[in-house]
């Protein structure tokens, strides 16, 4: 089975976001008019629009009155993103329109080839009015997206930061390329990057971030701006701390559960993706072998008189059947991508829990430190030595200190205790803040996840239905031809 | 008794007694004045073996009439089933017998219902007898002797069932064949008790005569056919091509079954994964469980579809692969019959030439030495030999004509049957595939429906 011939490196649909946006406007208009979805009467241009939307987003929109709700369900995600709307999205329409290959010298002065993506921003009003002014646009490469995300991770550790599409192709079945330069991979990455930007832009907190905004608007000098924030240092220290093993004395039950959930989610989605990829591989084989029927029927028809025509035309249908699997599996890839997003989201969720643990741990450390300092002061003040300490030993061996020494020590301790109390207060506040914000975001994330994944399952069912319908059609046609044999 | 070269072609189907085939000896050989010596007896042994019921002997021409008659009438007067396999264990071997039930209104059967038990060997015997009696008629193939993989497979349930179905089809095809179905051996096969069958099997041409036939056949094959008529060459070319195509189809279908099975293996893991996932979720638990259920149901449907292919399409394709081999054998036998005839023609011509030269030479020599007497004896001897050879030649000629005409009509019949069988097998397969997709479609639509009603219930989506 040969691989598909490489497609041209080109965006499938220009400015898909503008299509998406028009469709959203369409649906929100209709829903505002309180029309039943089944009664959606569309103009021809609107129908074409919906069809284009369906292609871009890999879902099948059908005209069935019975499935009318599916129009709106699949759009709901984007609708929510816009309508719940951050002020950013209310003003600007964001899209990743194209991808291009570039060559240049990298950090070590070696020639390399890489891909850049075109980010476009359009003012919302212009799009809905149908005029098409030249959008603001700039080119970014994947590593810059990574930089942006890392910045957000460090700056908002209590938020579940939307994930990027995968760096390298994983869970491939044999026909898919694992090559990062493969046009199909680039195309899917383009869609993923756009999705990432939209997720960030629709997040109530992240959308207001200045670095994010300049990522979208300032092509040059953005990198420097990011580094100037000094987030790198924070990132490094955080990373170090996170990688160290530490044990929290009083783990927060909710977060522990959430982390456990993140682990399970990651494990089960990985398994699902693996199994699905293998099944896709096999399904491909089944369909393609039917192509051999086409060939043999054709050859056989040459030696038959009455059976010839029936055989020949049946053969054509077998060829069509064999070819239909390509589209089917392409649609399924989109489903896989939706699952992958949540695979990576699971990781982001776990990261939040980890960071909370760290915050908690640091609080506990500070509190512990404070307690021990207070204890020291008490010992010093009362002259009693409660616990075994080196000081206790030395004082027994070498005699106690002079009152001046004691006085100095006490003073120092007092200062330290004061500082320590400040620190504990700070850290406590931090922790509380963290827990509060994190929990709000986790609830938001849960709702989003439940909604999105339910939609994904529905679109999976729609895909299966579409596949079955194609199968019914082909075999009915074949049956007719066979009966003419 | 009709003499010599008179042909009675107006004999109607079925019950002509002693109609003779068209005598074309006049066209092939010079008629000799000595022909008054030849009395063409209505030879009931035109074909080897005596399995032909005398009353059914017909000329090739009227045989064609009979074919037409059978098709137009479309009244099936004999029904045969093969079922109920049973295992028999003896000291020496273990074997399977099948129940063969016959219901018929034919007059030559003593009763209207019969039930006997037969084993595979018996079927082999029957086929052999039919082929001996009618070397150029096309008999439906029997299932193969054993699965190549290993003898252990012989008593596997699936294997027995597949074989039973094939044996059933075999007997039905024989019963539907205008000539085969009136064979005495066939009748005995269907009706005789086991002991009777065994003793009947022992009759018939003995080992030596069969050996003799085989030797003759080999000799003829080695000699080869000189003037094969064009239509048989065309037949051979067709059979070659057909054999290739049907073998390919058999292989392709088996490959599809393999791929489907592997797909099924992977798909079987999907459902449980969704079910596992549902255990970690709250809101999503229900739709995930639902999807798991749907995937499992699709698995069941896929399993059934694979079974259908294996049970229905593959056996038919496989039988026609074997048919192609049968056709090749039939064409070979026809060629051998023609080769035999050509050999005998040559031999007779040579003998006659000898006779002519002999008589000239001898008459000169003997006349001078001995007188007239020995010469006459010699001449008598040669005359006798020639007469015998002429006899043989005429028989061979008849056999050839018979064989050719039999093959030609049976070829037409076989093509019709093949077309019907393969057409209905493919139509059936297509129908099953449609049904498979329809069932899966229903599964997923029920999921969608449940999600819709769920959403309505939870007030999540505004349907107004």
Taking the CA of residue A24 and the nearest CA in chain B, the distance in Å comes to 15
Q: Chain B, 323-382: which have a CB under 8 Å from a chain A CB?
A: none
Residues 283-322 of B with CB under 8 A from A: 283-284, 287-288, 291, 294, 298
The residue whose two tokens read 């027995």 is B160
Q: Which of A289, A450, A465 sits opposite B441 (nearest CB)?
A: A465
**Which domains does chain B show, CATH number per domain?**
22-195 (3.30.1520.10), 256-458 (1.20.1270.60)
Q: Is A469 on the interface with B (CB under 8 A)?
A: yes
Whether A461 sits inside 8 A of B448 (CB atoms) is: yes
> Which residues in A lie closer than 8 A to residue B419 (C-beta atoms)?
306-307, 485
Q: Identify the H or E element spanning B79.
A: strand B78-89
From the CA of B412, how many Å to the nearest CA of chain A? 13
User: Is A476's Cβ below 8 Å from some Cβ in B?
Assistant: yes
Give the total residue count for chain A: 485
**Given this model, what pLDDT does residue A90 score?**
77
Phi and psi torsions of B52, nearest 5°:
-80, 125
Nearest to B445 among A290, A453, A465 (CB): A465
CB-count burial class (<10 Å; 0-12, 13-18, 19+) for A177: middle
Q: Angle at which helices A308-382 and A253-301 pack, to 10 degrees? A: 170
Q: Is B82 helix (H, G, I), strand (E, B) or coil?
A: strand
pLDDT at A17: 44
Angle at Cα A452 formed by Cα A451 and Cα A453, nearest 5°?
Answer: 95
Q: Do B309 and B429 meet the contact criterion of CB atoms below 8 Å apart?
A: yes
CB-CB under 8 Å, B274 with A272: yes
B residues 234..293 contacting A (CB < 8 A): 238, 241-242, 245-246, 248-249, 252, 255-256, 259-260, 262-263, 265-267, 269-270, 273-274, 276-277, 280-284, 287-288, 291
Backbone angles phi, psi at B79, to 5 degrees: -125, 125
CA distance B292 to chain A (A): 11
Q: Do A461 and B294 make contact, defined as CB atoms within 8 angstroms?
A: yes
Question: Does residue A443 sit at the B interface (CB-CB below 8 Å)?
Answer: no
User: B181 to chain A, minimum CA–CA distance in Å?
Assistant: 28
Is A479's CB within 8 Å of B462's CB? no
For helices A16-32 and A183-201, the axis angle rounded to 10 degrees is 50
| Long-range contacts formed by B442-450: CB under 8 A, 24+ apart | B443/B294, B443/B297, B443/B298, B443/B301, B444/A461, B444/A462, B444/A464, B444/A465, B444/A468, B444/B294, B445/A461, B445/A465, B446/B294, B447/A461, B447/B290, B447/B291, B447/B294, B448/A67, B448/A70, B448/A458, B448/A461, B448/A462, B448/A465, B450/B290
| Partner B contacted by A326 (CB < 8 A) | no
CA distance B209 to B230: 33
Shortest alpha-carbon distance between residue B448 and chain A (Å): 7
Q: Cα-flanking dihedrals φ and ψ of residue A245, to 5°?
A: -85, 130
Task: Please answer whether residues A70 and A62 qualify as being in contact, where contact means their C-beta atoms are separated by less than 8 angstroms.
Answer: yes
- Mutation test of the interface with chain A: which of B237, B273, B317, B443, choosing the one with the most A Cβ atoms within 10 A? B273
Q: What is the pTM of this model?
A: 0.76
Size of interface A-B (CB pairs under 8 A): 154
Give the chain B residue nearest A271 (alpha carbons): B273
Contacts of A61 in chain B (CB under 8 A): none
Q: Measured between alpha carbons, how far is B427 from B422 in angstroms, rounded to an integer? A: 8
Task: Give the model confidence (pLDDT) of B294-316 as tens digits.
Answer: 999 999 999 999 999 998 999 99
Extract the tokens encoding A107: 């950090």
* DSSP state letters, A196-226: HHHHHHTSTTGGG-HHHHHHHH--SSHHHHH
- Please write the tens of the pLDDT for every residue from A394-434: 666 656 667 788 788 888 888 888 888 998 998 899 889 99
Residues in A touching B422 (Cβ below 8 Å): 307, 485
Supply φ then ψ for residue A106, to 5 degrees: -95, -170
Domains of chain A: 17-73 (no CATH), 84-235 (3.30.1520.10), 249-382+410-485 (1.20.1270.60)
Name the pairing type of β-strands A136-141 and A111-123.
Answer: antiparallel
What is the pLDDT, as a whole number, of residue A324?
94
Contacts of B234 in chain A (CB under 8 A): none
Residue of B nearest to A291 (CA): B252
User: What pLDDT, on the 0 to 100 scale, is given for residue A197?
Assistant: 93
Distance CA B329, CA B159 (A): 26
Interface check B456 vs A, CB under 8 A = no
Residue A271 CA to its chain's centroid (Å): 18
For chain A, list residues with pLDDT below 50. Answer: 1-22, 24, 28, 30-41, 56, 58-76
Q: DSSP class of residue B52?
A: S
C-beta of residue A160 within 8 angstroms of C-beta of residue A342: no
Alpha-carbon radius of gyration of chain B: 32
What long-range pairs does A298-307 form, CB within 8 A, spacing at least 24? A299/B245, A300/B242, A300/B245, A300/B246, A300/B249, A303/B238, A303/B241, A303/B242, A303/B245, A306/A485, A306/B419, A307/A485, A307/B419, A307/B422, A307/B423
Chain B residues in contact with A309 (beta carbon < 8 A): none
Which chain B residues are Cβ-neighbours of A278 within 8 angstroms? Answer: 266
The residues with which A95 forms a beta bridge, in sequence order, are A120
Tokens 């929290």 -> residue: A248
Place of tokens 């007239």: B372
pLDDT of chain B, 464 residues: tens digit per residue: 444 444 344 433 344 343 334 444 333 333 344 433 333 333 333 333 333 333 344 444 444 444 444 444 457 788 899 998 888 888 888 888 999 999 988 888 888 899 999 999 999 999 999 998 888 899 999 988 865 555 455 567 888 888 999 999 999 999 999 899 888 899 989 988 877 888 887 776 655 666 666 676 676 667 777 888 999 999 999 999 999 999 999 999 999 999 999 999 999 999 999 999 999 999 999 999 999 999 999 999 999 999 999 989 999 999 999 999 999 999 999 998 999 899 888 888 888 887 777 666 666 666 666 655 566 777 788 888 888 888 889 998 999 999 999 999 999 999 999 999 999 999 999 999 999 999 999 999 999 999 887 666 654 444 33
C-beta atoms of A72 and B283 within 8 A: no
- Helices B120-133 & B157-176, crossing angle to 10 degrees? 30
Which residue in B244, B302, B434 has the most chain A C-beta atoms within 10 A of its own C-beta, making it the best mutation to test that interface? Answer: B434
Our CA-based measurement puts residue A37 at a distance from the nearest CA of chain B, in whole angstroms, of 7
Verify whether the Cβ–Cβ distance B276 to A268 is below 8 Å. yes
User: Which chain A residues contact residue B463 at CB under 8 A?
Assistant: 36-37, 69
**Is A14:A97 a contact under the CB 8 Å cutoff?**
yes
Are B430 and A475 an interchain contact pair (Cβ–Cβ within 8 Å)?
yes
Q: Are A160 and A348 in contact (CB under 8 A)?
A: yes
Mark residue B204 as left, alpha or beta (left: phi above 0; alpha: psi -120 to 50; beta: remaining). Answer: left
Nearest-angstrom CA–CA distance, B403 and B292: 64
Contact with chain B for residue A323, Cβ under 8 A: no
A272·B273 Cβ contact <8 A: yes
Query: ipTM, 2 decimals?
Result: 0.79
Residue with tokens 């100095």: A408
CB B129 within 8 A of CB B185: yes
**What pLDDT was estimated at residue A7?**
36
DSSP sequence for B364-425 = HHHHHHT-SHHHHHHHHHHHHHHHHHHHHHHHHHHHHHHHHHHHHHHHHHHHHHHHHHHHHH
* The pLDDT of residue B212: 65
Token digits for B164? 């039973």
Query: Which residues, other chains included, contact A242 with Cβ-Cβ below 8 Å and sequence gap of 6+?
Result: A354, A355, A358
Q: What sign for the dihedral angle of Cα A282, A287, A291, A292?
A: positive
338-377 in A: which are within 8 Å (CB) of B? none
- With CB atoms and an 8 Å threshold, state whether B277 touches A482: no
């Amino acid at each position: 089975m040969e691989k598909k011939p490489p497609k041209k490196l080109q965006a499938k649909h220009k400015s898909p976001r503008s299509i998406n946006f028009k469709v959203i406007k369409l649906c929100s208009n209709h829903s505002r008019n309180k029309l039943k979805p089944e009664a959606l009467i569309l103009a021809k241009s609107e129908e074409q629009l919906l069809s284009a939307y369906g292609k871009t987003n890999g879902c099948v929109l059908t005209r069935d009155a019975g499935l009318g709700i599916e129009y709106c369900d699949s759009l709901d995600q984007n609708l929510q993103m816009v309508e719940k709307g951050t002020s950013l999205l209310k003003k600007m329409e964001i899209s990743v329109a194209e991808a291009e290959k570039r060559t240049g010298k990298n950090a070590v002065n070696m020639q390399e080839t890489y891909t850049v993506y075109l980010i476009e921003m359009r003012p919302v009003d212009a799009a809905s009015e149908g005029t098409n002014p030249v959008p603001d646009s700039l080119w970014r490469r994947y590593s810059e997206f990574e930089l942006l995300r890392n910045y957000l991770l460090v700056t908002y550790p209590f938020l579940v930061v939307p994930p990027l599409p995968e760096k390298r192709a994983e869970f491939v079945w044999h026909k898919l390329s694992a090559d990062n330069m493969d046009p199909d991979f680039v195309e899917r990455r383009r869609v993923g990057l756009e999705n990432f930007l939209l997720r960030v832009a629709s997040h109530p907190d992240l959308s207001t971030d200045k670095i994010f905004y300049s990522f979208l608007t300032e092509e040059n000098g953005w990198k420097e701006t990011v580094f100037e924030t000094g987030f790198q240092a924070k990132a490094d220290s955080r990373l170090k701390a996170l990688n160290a093993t530490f044990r929290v004395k009083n783990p927060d039950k909710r977060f522990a559960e959430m982390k456990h959930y993140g682990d399970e989610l990651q494990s089960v989605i990985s398994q699902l993706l693996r199994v699905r990829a293998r099944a896709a591989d096999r399904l491909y084989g089944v369909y393609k072998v039917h192509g051999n029927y086409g060939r043999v029927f054709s050859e056989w028809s040459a030696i038959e008189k009455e059976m010839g025509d029936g055989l020949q035309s049946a053969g054509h249908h077998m060829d069509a059947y064999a070819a239909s699997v390509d589209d089917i599996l392409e649609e399924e890839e989109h489903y896989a991508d939706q699952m992958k997003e949540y695979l990576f989201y699971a990781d982001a969720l776990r990261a939040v829990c980890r960071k909370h643990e760290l915050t908690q741990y640091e609080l506990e450390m500070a509190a512990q430190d404070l307690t021990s300092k207070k204890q020291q002061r008490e010992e010093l003040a009362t002259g009693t030595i409660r616990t075994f300490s080196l000081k206790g030993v030395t004082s027994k061996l070498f005699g106690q200190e002079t009152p001046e020494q004691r006085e100095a020590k006490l003073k120092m301790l007092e200062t330290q205790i004061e500082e320590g109390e400040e620190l504990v207060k700070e850290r406590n506040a931090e922790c509380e803040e963290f827990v509060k914000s994190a929990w709000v975001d986790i609830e938001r994330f849960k709702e989003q996840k439940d909604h999105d994944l339910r939609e994904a399952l529905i679109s999976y069912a729609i895909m299966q239905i579409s596949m079955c319908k194609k199968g019914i059609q082909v075999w009915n046609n074949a049956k007719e031809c066979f009966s003419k044999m | 008794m009709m003499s010599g070269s008179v042909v009675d072609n107006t004999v109607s189907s079925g019950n002509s007694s002693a109609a003779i085939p068209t005598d074309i000896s006049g066209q092939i050989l010079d008629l000799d004045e000595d022909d008054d010596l030849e009395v063409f007896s209505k030879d009931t042994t035109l074909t080897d073996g005596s399995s032909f019921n005398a009353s059914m002997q017909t000329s090739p021409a009227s045989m064609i009439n009979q074919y037409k008659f059978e098709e137009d009438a479309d009244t099936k007067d004999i029904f045969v089933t093969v079922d109920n396999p049973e295992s028999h264990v003896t000291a020496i071997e273990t074997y399977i017998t099948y129940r063969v039930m016959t219901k018929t209104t034919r007059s030559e059967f003593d009763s209207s219902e019969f039930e006997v038990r037969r084993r595979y060997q018996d079927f082999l015997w029957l086929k052999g007898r039919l082929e001996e009696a009618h070397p150029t008629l096309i008999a439906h193939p029997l299932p193969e002797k054993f699965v190549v993989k290993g003898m252990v497979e012989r008593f596997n349930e699936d294997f027995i069932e597949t074989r039973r179905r094939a044996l059933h089809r075999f007997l039905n095809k024989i019963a539907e064949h205008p000539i085969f179905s009136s064979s005495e051996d066939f009748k005995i096969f269907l009706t005789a008790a086991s002991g009777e069958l065994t003793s009947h099997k022992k009759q018939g041409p003995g080992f030596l005569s069969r050996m003799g036939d085989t030797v003759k056949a080999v000799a003829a094959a080695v000699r080869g056919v000189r003037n094969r008529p064009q239509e048989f060459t065309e037949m051979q070319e067709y059979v070659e091509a057909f054999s290739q195509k049907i073998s390919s189809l058999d292989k392709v279908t088996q490959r599809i079954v393999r791929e489907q099975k592997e797909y099924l293996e992977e798909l079987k893991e999907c459902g449980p994964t969704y079910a596992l996932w549902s255990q970690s979720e709250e809101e999503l638990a229900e739709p995930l469980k639902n999807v798991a259920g749907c995937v499992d149901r699709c698995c069941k449907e896929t399993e059934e579809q694979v079974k259908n292919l294996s049970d229905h399409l593959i056996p038919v394709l496989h039988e026609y692969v074997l048919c192609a081999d049968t056709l090749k054998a039939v064409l070979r036998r026809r060629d051998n019959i023609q080769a035999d005839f050509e050999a005998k023609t040559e031999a007779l011509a040579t003998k006659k030439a000898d006779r002519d030269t002999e008589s000239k030479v001898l008459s000169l020599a003997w006349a001078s030495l001995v007188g007239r007497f020995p010469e006459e004896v010699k001449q008598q001897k040669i005359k006798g030999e020639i007469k015998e050879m002429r006899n043989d030649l005429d028989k061979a000629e008849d056999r050839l004509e018979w064989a050719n005409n039999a093959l030609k009509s049976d070829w037409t019949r076989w093509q019709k049957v093949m077309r019907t069988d393969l057409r209905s097998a493919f139509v059936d397969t297509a129908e099953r595939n449609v049904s498979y997709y329809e069932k899966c479609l229903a599964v997923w639509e029920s999921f969608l429906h449940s999600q819709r009603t769920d959403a309505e219930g939870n007030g999540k989506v505004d349907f107004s």
